[in-house]
Amino acid sequence: MTLSTFRRRVALHGELTLRTALHVGVGRALEPLGTDLTVARDAFDRPLIPGSSFRGALRASVESLVRGIQERGGRLGQGACDPLDDNGRCMTARSLKDWEKEHGRAAPGERAAFIHDRLCPVCRLFGTAFYASRVRVADLTCVEAPPIEVRDGVGIDRSRRAAREKVLYDFEIVPAGSIFRWSITADNPEDWELGMLAAGLELFDSGLACVGGKAARGLGQVELVTTSIVEEDPRTLLDRLAGKHRTPADEKPAPAQEAPAPLPDEERVFQLMRAEARNLPDTFPQESLWERLRNAGLDSDKVRAYPYIKKPDKPVVKQLFEEAMRRGVLEKVAELFRLARPPAPKPAAPAPAQSGIHAVVMARLAEWIDAFRRKAFGED
């Protein structure tokens, strides 16, 4: 599927956690006494995995997987070509030039169709010099700035099987446990192509593919998790853009509601006391509440003779209310009623919202990988 018509866009987002240290080098440091091999950093001096580095490792893992499928009787056309071999590429400048000589000035659509048909499945997705990539990988940014570590290395003379003289160097690494956020967007993908992409990502999480350099030293092992998937077609895209640019004037105002008239302070406190009294438990000891009321300033015969509040009615609460009002301790008594109530049981903590989202994401990825498996082995 080409890019001449927008039909579908799928964005995958997730987190990459380092199981082992990581080195994505950018050469020597600028300082005279700096580290020989530094790691990539962003403008805020945080470690960075360039999108091109991760995309290259992802493409290599997908190519390796597709070649393995072809060796086992897969049906993915010509499988995956070798982009580093002039004779092994699916599309070369010479083959395109020969076609142009044969067909002359053909329509642009015919030329694009010829290139598309000659490409292997991996080049159709990741692109070549003759065909734009349909996969975009953003730079992987670090959630927090971990302390950068420095390790020492030494050159090896393989013929002597010993350390080479005067070849001592050091290099920076990002420590294990660091977390990076990643984002991959695919334009006009088929489900089986998304499955091929998801299978390539799974190779990283399974330890079959590494990120960065010095993998022979054990660096670059990662744990990769997909946290969200966003799918858009022309209709959903326009709906989203319309909502984004909608002005407040476009919104229908909610019907105005008249605010209830505020209650006088005495009536408000009285209603509060009555409501709180109804919620007192039957087992609440009378002496405990009476003690609190006496401390609030209601030490009188009326309070001592006050009936138990497990079955309050308006006249009974009114009696206490009038006594509290007379002594000027309305708010204090109302607060005592609230303190007398037993604490409400804490509701059970809801399941994390991410668990449901994660289940949906995993189901979608499994659906795509199954489509890729059926496409690869001709089970459609």
Count other C-beta atoms under 10 Å from residue 202's C-beta: 17
Q: Are 195 and 369 in contact (CB under 8 A)?
A: yes
pLDDT band at 351 (very low <50, low <70, confident <90, very high): very low
* Distance between CA atoms of residues 226 and 362, nearest Å: 8
Q: DSSP letters along 118-147, please?
A: HS-HHHHHH-BTTB--SEEE--EEESS-PP
Same domain? For 282 and 215 the reply is: no
What sign results for the dihedral spanned by CA atoms 351, 354, 357, 358? negative
Residue 22 pLDDT: 93
Alpha helix stretches (DSSP H) within the chain: 51-71, 93-103, 108-118, 121-126, 191-205, 234-244, 265-278, 286-295, 301-304, 314-327, 330-340, 353-376
CB 45 within 8 A of CB 86: no
Q: How far is 275 from 261, CA to CA, in rounded Å?
A: 20
| Token pair for 337 | 């009623």
Cα–Cα–Cα angle for 295, 297, 301, nearest 5°?
Answer: 100
Kindly report the backbone phi and psi dihedral angles of residue 171, in degrees, each rounded to the nearest multiple of 5, phi listed first: -150, 150
Torsion of CA 106, 109, 111, 115, to 10 degrees: -170
Residues 27 and 125 in one domain: yes
Residues 278, 335: one domain? yes
**pLDDT > 90: percent of the chain:** 29
Prediction pTM value: 0.67
Mean pLDDT of the region 77-92: 80
306 shares a domain with 171: no
Q: Give yes or no: residues 151 and 287 share one domain.
A: no
Considering the domain architecture, whether residues 14 and 71 belong to the same structural domain is answered as yes
Query: What CATH number is given to the structural domain containing 184?
Result: 3.30.70
One domain for residues 27 and 148: yes
Q: How many domains does the chain have?
A: 2
For residues 235 and 276, membership in a common domain is answered with no
Identify which has the larger pLDDT, 290 or 99.
99
Domain of 72, in residue numbers: 9-80+120-159+167-240
The answer as to whether 114 is a domain residue is: no
Q: Is residue 214 in some structural domain?
A: yes
Q: What are phi and psi of 265, to 5 degrees?
A: -55, -40
Mean pLDDT of the chain: 78
> In sequence order, what are the residues at sequence separation of 6 or more whose Cβ sits closer than 8 angstroms to the Cβ of residue 247?
none
Q: If you ran DSSP here, which 8-state letter would residue 264 be given?
A: P
- 48: confidence class by pLDDT, cuts 50, 70, 90: very high
Same domain as 278, residue 187: no
Q: Is residue 362 part of a domain?
A: no
